[in-house]
Structure 1
Amino acid sequence: MAILLLLASLFGGLVCYILGVIIYRLTLHPLAKYPGPFLAKITDIYLAYYAYKGSRHLAFHRAHEQYGTYVRLGPNLLSINTATGLKTIYGFRSNVKKASFYEAFPSTPKAVSVHSAIDKMQHARKRRVMSHAFSDSAIKSLEKYILANVRVGCELLGRKSNNWSGEKSLTDEKDGGWNDAWNTAHWCEWLVFDIMGDLVFGKAFGMLESPINRFATQLVGNAAHRHLICGTHLTIHNWHLDKLFFRKIAGQRAQYMQYSKGQAMERTKLGVDVDRKDFFYYLLNAKDPETGKGFSMDELWGESNLLIIAGSDTTSTAMAGTFFYLANNPSALQKVCKEIREAFADVEEIVTGPKLGACSFLRACIDETMRMTPPVAGALPREVLAGGLDVDGHHIPAGIDVGVPIYAIHHNPNYFPQPFDYIPERWLSDPSANPLHHSLAAAQSAYNPFSIGPRGCIGKGLAYVELTVTIARVLYLYDLRLAPGTTLGAGSKDLEVGRTRATEYQIQDVFASKKDGPVLQFRART
């Protein structure tokens, strides 16, 4: 009887505690006055559910459409859908730090990367080291390795059959000289992985020409997915519940961590006496100005984890997305092909420099892709520091997490008229060529596929090099079309709310992105 009374008391106490927390969060919490889904106000399970589904970006967008500019999407999370919010939260001298969300990212507490570092001093030290590797001069010195991989990728697209690739032919229609159909998302992933292998570790992964290492692309996606789920609801991370409820994702994340650790250890053994200054060269040469110590093996592992995920997944998503939108918008495809083919007399002229930089419509197509389908689509949470934060006249007290969801603001009609239409011209500075020139300044103020400020993506310059060089070379050499009868990658009325537009490239928001398609055919340019 005493045990039953004890259990009843414990249960009653637990119920009272939970009710007390709910009442506090709904009535007395600093965010109680802000609208949002009821469940989101009382528990992080709401957003963790959408993180698991891969549609967190759609949940943010849908909530802002329903509730307005300021939406409470977690017990302690305020989502803001304005350009001033973007600059106030993420800009230089912002009174915030990275939120506890990022505690779920490192493989061990010591394996913190420049991306996951919450402490500002630690981040600044790491960023100084990484900035040398990502400088314009460093990237230019490594461009020959980028071009070597792009040449391999382009040569493969020219083959009549893709049987060598290990993939089944996706269409039987080869009329008019068209080659076998490709799942272009796979080609983009293999290419960008090979490039990052060369730039980070001094050797390509060989994914374009062999299936041996292709398993790593799936591991990367699931590692990022695990980070997102666990970061959204830290209890899952702290209590290791991912191993119970998300076994496949957690297992593949563990596999990925071992894979990246192996790559880091193998490269570390080579030291700095190598034939090129790859990214690890800079990491191995780094010294703490106070202690004189270099990066520990755990720190090198942390940067390895980051570089593979951030350097491959996001760029390949933007690349595959650009091919999707061009294939679905013939007028844009015709215009960008004309620009590239008139600018260059030979494919080997297509390198970084003034001529490629002058291809403004190519850049507009890439930017419009990353507006429509940002590779990192959700909000990047920041914790408000002592003294609070003022955004658009709202005072947000210390301890609150805030963020601007990238997909939502990229589809905010206040900044982007016709937000679900692919209109590359909206980015052109010439008013006569831009039917939406009146909104160009507003669009530029809200555009942030790489985030902004001191924690913005350090690899932005490299990503644009890979994207412009690759897409320009492919379009110089080949015509492309959607394989007849295929819609992979497109939205559909049979999919969930937010995925019904056939003209929009669909991704799964796993912090980075999972994608599939489009299925394209290529032929030598006519």
Structure 2
Amino acid sequence: MLPHVLVPVIFAGLTSHWMFNKLEPRALLHFILLLALPPTLLVPLVIRHMSNVLHAILFTYCLYLLSLMTSVATYRLSPFHPLAQYPGPVLCKLTKLYLAGISMGGKQHLYYSELHRRFGDVVRIGPNELSFRDVNAIIPMMGSKGMPKGPCTRRAWNRAFSTSALKDYEVVVDNRVSQFVDILGTKLGAPVDISQRLGWLTFDIMNDVMFSAGGDTMKYEDREDTSRLLRNAQPMALLMAHLPWFSEIYLWLPCIGQGLRSFRKYASERVSERKARGCNQMDVFYHLIDEGGLEPHAPSHAQILSDGGLAIIAGSETTSTTLSHIIWFLICHPKAYLRLQAEIDDPKNNSGVPASQARMPYLNAVINEALRIFPAVLSGSQRAPRIDSGGQSIGYHFVPEGTSTVVHTYSLHHDPRYFSPLPDAFIPERWLSSEEQLALEPELFGDKKNVFRHNTAAFIPFSIGPSNCVGRNLAYQEMRMVICSLMSKFDMRFEKGFDVGSWEESILDYFVVQRGRLPVILTARNT
């Protein structure tokens, strides 16, 4: 009796594993059918050898699932797996659930970094996923002949952030920065959470740039609690990035993911309101919905909604986070603070317009150094070989088709092979000329014991290639304008008793960064 029952059930489990590998199902329905249909069909066979129907059902399903999971685990850990040559934690090789669980704690960037310290430049971080910490992987993975990043970037995004479009946005950004400074001027002498207020500023800017209206977060101190919407949406979005199949379960279960649901509802309302209102100027949304009629086919509502939500989060949170890091670094490093302040105060360097600010060497050095230590997207973004390509070579490594890859930005930026000395330290001078380095920091850059490395090819805070961040230039423009306005109007110091180390501890990597309080005291400058 036993062989008649065991053999077909075990064979069904092994066959289902083969089908999973062969067909690579993505839809939740296909998963359910592969998991439930075979044992359901086998239950009548088992019932004939068992007196209890319930026992027969439990026996069939348990044996089938055990056979399937054993086969999967054995294959993923075996030398026959396409990624068997790459080192990594056993649990990461077995299931993506392990890394997804770690990521929910908000410290995935530190976990990835630790894995690279333990295992080297290429680490297997999932059953079919690799993380790279190698400058030689950047161009093959992200360059013009590299791997796609999901759907190709639409031409509309490039038009929305072209040079001429950025010129139009200057007035919008300038008005919001002036409002920001005026509001801070009413808070002198009292603790101000500058991180929170920078979030409100960039959110208002993004609303103006994206939708031409709708941003009064600074004025009313976020009475609609949009900051919470942005914050609560991010963990669930990251979980679904690690486990794409979970997105369908999420849609079926209204009891989970309320933060992401609320944000999507908000984004949908903003998109619908903007479409109904129309616009007399070319904001970002003008290009995304192709109001100019330049595309052969109009974008779908789903695409527009996705683009709108992405722009709200990526366009506001990344910039405010970097600005918050910059202020934290500057107050922690008084020498850098005074050097930047002197450059801003000098009318030969700063005429008050974005074009002159873009040429300020120390200002750009400070921004780049903050982005190096804490890139806006700490863990980078996934790439995968093109479908039917058979795979792709990344330097000396071959990545089979069906494998996800990532260049881990945080690990790359902290690698002493590319940035030395002191790769974890805030040293804006590393971005200056050798003459300026020796003049400003002779003990550091004049010491022949120090090996100076500054490989800008390893600096990718906005990614590179066809799928890089199209809002990069706008972000730089915003950051320069905000820093120059803040430091020309105010002196800043931390609130008494503030634990300086708590800032770095508060950083949570949910694709975009969540951060804690940054309480500062502002005093007016007499310039």
With the length of structure 2 as denominator, give the TM-score of the two structures. Answer: 0.83
1:212: how far off? 4.6
1:395 is aligned to: 398
2:312 is aligned to: 308
* Aligned positions of 1:140-179 closer than 5 A: 140-160=167-187, 179=189
Q: Is the 8 A contact 2:286 2:292 kept in 1?
A: no
Task: Give the 3-state SS of the residue equivalent to 1:97 in structure 2.
Answer: coil
Task: Give the 3-state SS of the residue equivalent to 2:104 in structure 1.
Answer: helix
User: Paired residue for 2:462, among 447, 450, 472?
Assistant: 450
Per-residue Cα deviation, 1:371-430 (whole angstroms, up to 9, x for no partner): 111121113111123142222312222221111111111111111221211111111134
What is the rounded CA distance, in whole Å, between the counterparts of 1:242 and 1:320 in structure 2? 38
What is the rounded CA distance, in whole Å, between the counterparts of 1:22 and 1:140 in structure 2? 55
Write the letter of the residue equivalent to 1:319: L
* 1:87 aligns to 2:139 (yes or no): yes
Q: CA RMSD in A?
A: 2.3
1:70: how far off? 1.0
CA gap of 1:505–1:158, structure 2 versus 1, over 3 A, is farther
CA gap of 1:242–1:350, structure 2 versus 1, over 3 A, is farther
1:219: how far off? 1.2
Write the letter of the residue equivalent to 2:101: Y
Instruction: Provide structure 2 residue ranges, at least 5 long, that are not aligned to the other structure.
Output: 1-50, 439-443
2:125 is aligned to: 73
1:130 is aligned to: 157
Write the letter of the residue equivalent to 1:395: F
1:313: how far off? 0.6
* Aligned positions of 1:426-437 closer than 5 A: 426-433=430-437
What is the rounded CA distance, in whole Å, between the counterparts of 1:395 and 1:468 in structure 2? 41
* 1:297 aligns to 2:273 (yes or no): no
Deviating beyond 6 angstroms after TM superposition, the runs of 4 or more aligned structure 1 residues are 287-290, 437-441
User: Paired residue for 1:331, among 329, 335, 354?
Assistant: 335
1:302: how far off? 1.8
1:278 is aligned to: 283
What is the rounded CA distance, in whole Å, between the counterparts of 1:449 and 1:518 in structure 2? 23
User: Paired residue for 1:343, among 344, 347, 360?
Assistant: 347
1:443: how far off? 2.8
Q: Is the 8 A contact 1:183 1:516 kept in 2?
A: no
1:507 is aligned to: 507
What is the rounded CA distance, in whole Å, between the counterparts of 1:33 and 1:487 in structure 2? 44
Q: Is the 8 A contact 1:40 1:74 kept in 2?
A: yes
Task: Give the 3-state SS of the residue equivalent to 1:240 in structure 2.
Answer: helix
Per-residue Cα deviation, 1:431-472 (whole angstroms, up to 9, x for no partner): 442656998874301111111110000000000000001111
2:191 is aligned to: 181
Write the letter of the residue equivalent to 1:296: S
Identity of aligned residues (%): 29
1:226 is aligned to: 236
1:53: how far off? 0.8
CA gap of 1:443–1:436, structure 2 versus 1, over 3 A, is farther
1:11: how far off? 0.5
What is the rounded CA distance, in whole Å, between the counterparts of 2:378 and 2:317 in structure 1? 13
What is the rounded CA distance, in whole Å, between the counterparts of 2:505 and 2:423 in structure 1? 14
Q: Is the 8 A contact 2:494 2:520 kept in 1?
A: yes
2:166 is aligned to: 139
* 1:25 aligns to 2:76 (yes or no): yes
User: Paired residue for 2:414, among 411, 415, 421?
Assistant: 411
CA gap of 1:199–1:440, structure 2 versus 1, over 3 A, is farther
1:64: how far off? 0.5
1:102 is aligned to: none
Q: Once structures 1 and 2 are overlaid, which stretch shifts more, 276-285 or 368-377?
A: 276-285
* 1:40 aligns to 2:72 (yes or no): no
* 1:254 aligns to 2:261 (yes or no): yes
User: Paired residue for 1:420, among 401, 418, 424?
Assistant: 424
CA gap of 1:255–1:184, structure 2 versus 1, over 3 A, is same
What is the rounded CA distance, in whole Å, between the counterparts of 1:432 and 1:360 in structure 2? 10
Write the letter of the residue equivalent to 2:381: L
Write the letter of the residue equivalent to 1:370: L
Q: Is the 8 A contact 1:284 1:294 kept in 2?
A: yes
What is the rounded CA distance, in whole Å, between the counterparts of 2:407 and 2:345 in structure 1? 39
1:243: how far off? 4.8
Per-residue Cα deviation, 1:315-338 (whole angstroms, up to 9, x for no partner): 000011100100111111011001
Q: Once structures 1 and 2 are overlaid, which stretch shifts more, 219-228 or 27-36?
A: 219-228
What is the rounded CA distance, in whole Å, between the counterparts of 1:160 and 1:388 in structure 2? 57
Task: Give the 3-state SS of the residue equivalent to 2:247 in structure 1.
Answer: helix
Task: Give the 3-state SS of the residue equivalent to 1:285 in structure 2.
Answer: coil
User: Paired residue for 1:8, among 55, 59, 68?
Assistant: 59
CA gap of 1:289–1:160, structure 2 versus 1, over 3 A, is closer
1:44: how far off? 0.5
What is the rounded CA distance, in whole Å, between the counterparts of 2:172 and 2:183 in structure 1? 17
Instruction: Provide structure 1 residue ranges, at least 5 long, that are not aligned to the other structure.
Output: 99-117, 162-178, 492-501
1:113 is aligned to: none
* 1:64 aligns to 2:116 (yes or no): yes
What is the rounded CA distance, in whole Å, between the counterparts of 1:197 and 1:289 in structure 2? 24
Write the letter of the residue equivalent to 2:360: C
1:211: how far off? 3.1
2:377 is aligned to: 376
1:166 is aligned to: none
1:229: how far off? 0.8
**Pair member with larger Rg:** 2
What is the rounded CA distance, in whole Å, between the counterparts of 1:89 and 1:439 in structure 2? 29
Write the letter of the residue equivalent to 1:367: N
* 1:267 aligns to 2:274 (yes or no): yes
Q: Is the 8 A contact 2:193 2:520 kept in 1?
A: yes
2:497 is aligned to: 485
Task: Give the 3-state SS of the residue equivalent to 1:239 in structure 2.
Answer: helix
Write the letter of the residue equivalent to 2:305: W
What is the rounded CA distance, in whole Å, between the counterparts of 1:24 and 1:341 in structure 2? 64
Write the letter of the residue equivalent to 1:133: A
Q: Is the 8 A contact 1:416 1:439 kept in 2?
A: no
Write the letter of the residue equivalent to 2:72: V
1:214: how far off? 4.9
* 1:473 aligns to 2:485 (yes or no): yes
Q: Is the 8 A contact 1:415 1:439 kept in 2?
A: no
Per-residue Cα deviation, 1:295-330 (whole angstroms, up to 9, x for no partner): 233332222111101110100000111001001111
What is the rounded CA distance, in whole Å, between the counterparts of 1:242 and 1:181 in structure 2? 45
CA gap of 1:400–1:471, structure 2 versus 1, over 3 A, is same
Task: Give the 3-state SS of the residue equivalent to 1:383 in structure 2.
Answer: coil
1:241: how far off? 8.2
CA gap of 1:286–1:92, structure 2 versus 1, over 3 A, is farther
User: Paired residue for 1:203, among 188, 213, 218?
Assistant: 213
1:499 is aligned to: none
What is the rounded CA distance, in whole Å, between the counterparts of 2:217 and 2:193 in structure 1? 14
Per-residue Cα deviation, 1:317-366 (whole angstroms, up to 9, x for no partner): 001110010011111101100110013699xx42211x212211111111
Q: Is the 8 A contact 1:206 1:213 kept in 2?
A: no
Q: Is the 8 A contact 1:184 1:520 kept in 2?
A: yes
Q: Is the 8 A contact 1:25 1:41 kept in 2?
A: yes
1:112 is aligned to: none
With the length of structure 1 as denominator, give the TM-score of the two structures. Answer: 0.83
Q: Is the 8 A contact 1:97 1:119 kept in 2?
A: yes
Q: Is the 8 A contact 2:392 2:401 kept in 1?
A: yes
Q: Is the 8 A contact 1:149 1:194 kept in 2?
A: yes
Q: Is the 8 A contact 1:207 1:213 kept in 2?
A: yes
CA gap of 1:430–1:318, structure 2 versus 1, over 3 A, is same
CA gap of 1:47–1:286, structure 2 versus 1, over 3 A, is farther
